[in-house]
A and B are shown apart, each in its own frame.
Chain A
Amino acid sequence: MAFLKGDTKGQVQKELEGLSGKVKLVLFTQKQDCQYCRESRMLLEGVASLSDKITLEGHDFKGEANVVQEYKVDRAPAIAVVGTKDTGIRFYGVPAGHEFVSLLDAIRMTSVGDSGLSQQSRELVKQLTVPVHIQVFITLGCPYCPKAVTMGHKLALESDGIVSDMVEASEFPQLASKYNVFAVPKVVINEKIQFEGALPEPNFVQHVMKAK
């Protein structure tokens, strides 16, 4: 299935013109038990072909334990976004549909090395004393979800102590049911803190700060 064809390709290429620094997309796939591994690879190949700033590095989730360990991914398909260092930005499941916007956002902010967060949010996350793991559950048809995904990713880029995952709920139903995901976006922070909806930046950050 071709994701990026003619018209779309041109538009994406335009979106990627402003990239400055290099971005590496580290993709983990597996042959079996994976709904969208093939689609993830095709999508990322398409995106990487549109800019010389983007490289794609593919790994077998089942066979390459050392890289899996390095990026601490625990299922496939997974994407880690790496700039001058690992950003902590993760995608679990294919970032297609509405989430394609989140993928481009992650690439862009990693490339320019700026999360775009407000000064106030930046100051706040500096006060975090514990590692933070944000999981944002989404579906591909949800128009409100990319806002929440990108908010998590901005925080991951901003702080070395934060890892933030997009989790596509239909690829990982067990995980979705573990966290009782019945509406998206649903955000889970360090297991305990949970909320639904795409909150504005200050409210989102407030929830993250409860982790410390």
Chain B
Amino acid sequence: MSQGNIGVVLPDYQLATERVADEGKVYELIIIGGGPAGLTAGVYAARKRMDVLLLTQDIGGQVMLTGEIENYMGYERITGEELIARFKEQLSHQEITVQEESRVASITRGGKVFIAYTDEGYSYRARTVIIASGKRSRPLDVPGEERLVGRGVSYCAVCDAPLFAGRDVAVVGGGNSGLTAAIDLIKIANKVYVVSAHSSLPGDPVLVEQVEQTPQVDIFVFCDVQEVLGRERVTGIRIRSRQEEEERTLPVQGVFVEKGFLPNSELAQDIVKLSEDHEIIIDLGCRTSVPGIFAAGDVTTVPEKQIIISAGEGAKAALSAYNYLITTS
């Protein structure tokens, strides 16, 4: 992003499009998701000599969208890609089948096994399942947003920030990811507006201070976005103050949506119990409402969503699945 930051990201080679999963057999465990939770579950399950299939859209999950990580133990600071490269390296020494570019649409029960159906039309069977499908960006849900995706509305600050050099932009959301996006954009954009629905910016104080002290930044707290304006491309956003009930338009060419997250729980909604926030309800052993189905990480009701927490939850889920298999067979 900034000029000093040029380096290279190393590849990981396991040809992604290759089909390695076997539709004909019954695995002992299917893990859904290749983020910290799923990859850690994979290592733990493989070390228990379980016959494991890991189905995932990608390897790395949200960690691939993270620049620097400073709170994963063992590394004072490490980039998201590097951390995932190390996770993969560790997983590659285990006996486990990894099927990338595979999106699970639903899970059903068929007798003593669970069946995972993918978008691509495949189905895989196993005696236990760990759902570790994480979460994704929450959309603004206002008029104009959908029409202007890719025309100024962005959900990936690390991807799209450099495209807004010298322009005026808004970041919607004052949590850590919003503030990090704002800090990245300060180096590139002309003016940065930060819009938060909270009465003060809810992110970590170090980040809040950094943003508040930058003269190019204007902060609007206690405000909701009403509409994204523009026909062919974004020309502004209309915001409304909750306190004064007054509206104003911010003239921007870019809108970075950082409003928190939605759990990727749709694949499980017909089979396990979800919370009001659509998170998969789990107990301390990562057990869901259905015996044999476990869940781990950001897709669950576990309090706090962090890499180290997801990794720990993945480990727990794998051991719970293992114990379930020995006690039920």
A interface residues, Cβ below 8 angstroms from B? 1, 3-4, 8, 11-12, 15, 35-36, 39, 43, 94, 96-98, 100-101, 104-105, 116, 139-145, 169-170, 173, 176, 180-184, 186, 196-197, 200-201
Asked whether any CB of chain A lies closer than 8 Å to the CB of B20, the reply is: no
Are B163 and A100 touching (Cβ within 8 A)? no
B165 near A184: Cβ-Cβ < 8 Å: no
Contacts of A140 in B (CB 8 A): 1, 6, 162
- Name the residue of chain B whose CB is nearest to the CB of A36: B6
12 contacts between A and B (CB under 8 A): A3-B7, A36-B6, A97-B7, A101-B9, A139-B159, A139-B163, A141-B1, A141-B159, A142-B158, A142-B160, A183-B163, A196-B150
Known: A15-B13, A143-B65, A173-B165. A97 touches B8 (CB 8 A): yes
What 1/0 flags go to B11-30 for Cβ under 8 Å of A? 10101010000000000000
> Do the beta carbons of B11 and A96 come within 8 Å of each other?
no
19 additional A-B residue pairs with CB within 8 Å, beyond A104-B11, A143-B64:
A3-B6, A3-B8, A15-B13, A35-B3, A39-B6, A94-B6, A98-B81, A100-B8, A139-B1, A139-B160, A139-B161, A139-B162, A140-B6, A143-B60, A180-B151, A180-B232, A182-B150, A182-B151, A184-B159
If A145-B159, A170-B162 touch, does A96 touch B10 (CB 8 Å cutoff)? no
CA distance A26 to B11 in the complex (A): 22
In the complex, how many residue pairs between chain A and chain B have their CB atoms under 8 Å apart?
101
Which of chain B's residues 129-168 have a Cβ closer than 8 Å to chain A?
A: 149-152, 154, 156, 158-165
When distances are taken between beta carbons in the complex, the residues of chain A under 8 Å from B6 are 1, 3, 36, 39, 94, 96-97, 140
Chain B contact residues, CB within 8 Å of chain A? 1, 3, 6-11, 13, 15, 17, 60, 64-65, 67, 81, 101, 149-152, 154, 156, 158-165, 232-234, 254
